Structure 1
């Protein structure tokens, strides 16, 4: 096990624990801001179509190993979703998605992540983020910076902005290019066995399976060899010995 020059993190259930994510709650918040809703379409009706669209593009309701490798940006998704119902907004799509996320998501930093990031800074180990997420990169950065204001992430890659989703090698290769590092110099930490652990390993990056905030619905285990941790303090101790 080599001491890394950079550790790249997943977002959800890795650096941030999304304790609750309720799309219906988010859609309800968005509809309150609608300028025109001529048919009085309900949040339930909108969300039912959103689930159908998610299945159509291979994002939701599909086994992790069968999900699409391509990302659809949330602004495009929202445009279809609301124009379908003739719902109009005076706010730009960026603000509509912010309203949705703030309404849907209740989140907090994962246990000891603030201390771990501080430790990495003290050891001159660089950090960054790759997230499979349809929200815009700007909103993801805003959200992370709000929850982890002292972070020193060099870059935050949202799949929405770069076509590819994990576990596709292209998104990992992009991160390596941005970091100007070889795969052997990098660790990747994430909660998802397929997207994060096996995806990183297939790209030659050392994978860390973080299970401290893993969702109960996550039924997969990695096929690749990895470091398994339940608390960030475990890695602090390991890195202190390297």
Structure 2
């Protein structure tokens, strides 16, 4: 079904943005075949102390139990940094490694999934670069800001993101407007000059709107339509204006309409 519509009463509310900020997962990139077990297998390759003689499978079971505990805090709006989570999991088992968590984190993430680009996200970013619309990223993610930045740079090498904000660096998650306020300060822009694009209404649309930023709901899917369940979009009722778009090739078309004729 084609989706490119403004869901509001007054179309005049849409103004050409000076910057568009993006969510990460399911918006710009996704993680096909994510395998959390692979994380512990690669971690075991760097063990220097394992006093309980645990296997990768046993470590993984413990990590899953710890993640379930942390998930309750995440639901309440808190974010745990991946390095802290690794310390919680591994040090509670007496495990030690020959590399720091900052290196082990990236090995684990890439082992779980090397990541992939959402359809046409790279071309859409090329367009924004070509017309001088600034870009950045704000993501709900436990992985470190540094690891996220490297992943974005690896998979979207032509990006010109001015900054990348990971919730793990601040301890709070979208829809908390603090993350959006931080982004506005980093950009040096007022909210009405910025759009925010994300795939999760409860976090992305509500969070952006709370900070006065115009929200864009991206409803496109990964190849094969396997990335997110149908009920993903049934979680939240939205009663404010936003743009819904299902294909990144359509965003430039909408922006060109706002730009108007050029000489």
Q: Give TM-score, length-normalised by structure 2.
A: 0.85
1:231 matches 2:239: no
Q: Which moved more, 1:46-55 or 1:149-158?
A: 46-55
CA distance in 2, matches of 1:203, 1:151: 25
1:4 matches 2:17: yes
The alpha-carbon deviation at position 135 of structure 1 amounts to 1.1
The alpha-carbon deviation at position 59 of structure 1 amounts to 5.2
Q: 5+ residue gaps in structure 2?
A: 1-13, 222-226, 259-263
Whether the 8 Å contact between 2:23 and 2:199 is mirrored in structure 1 is yes
CA distance in 2, matches of 1:152, 1:222: 32
Q: Whose Rg is larger? A: 2
1:96 matches 2:110: no
Q: Which SS does the other structure have where 2:59 is aligned?
A: helix
Aligned to 2:8: none
Q: Give TM-score, length-normalised by structure 1.
A: 0.92
CA distance in 2, matches of 1:55, 1:219: 23
Pairs within 5 Å for 1:62-77:
67-77=75-85
Q: Which SS does the other structure have where 2:138 is aligned?
A: strand
CA distance in 2, matches of 1:17, 1:129: 14
1:29 matches 2:37: no
Pairs within 5 Å for 1:34-113:
34-58=47-71, 67-113=75-121
The alpha-carbon deviation at position 42 of structure 1 amounts to 2.4
Aligned to 1:163: 171
CA distance in 2, matches of 1:191, 1:48: 30
CA distance in 2, matches of 1:223, 1:114: 30
Cα offsets for 1:151-206 (capped at 9, x unmatched): 00000001111222111011111001111111111111111111111211122111
The alpha-carbon deviation at position 3 of structure 1 amounts to 0.6
1:152 matches 2:160: yes
Question: Cα RMSD (Å) of the superposition?
Answer: 1.7
Q: Which moved more, 1:166-175 or 1:31-40?
A: 31-40
Cα offsets for 1:57-99 (capped at 9, x unmatched): 3358x8xxxx122211111110111111111101001011111
Whether the 8 Å contact between 2:200 and 2:233 is mirrored in structure 1 is no
Whether the 8 Å contact between 2:24 and 2:137 is mirrored in structure 1 is yes
CA distance in 2, matches of 1:211, 1:165: 21
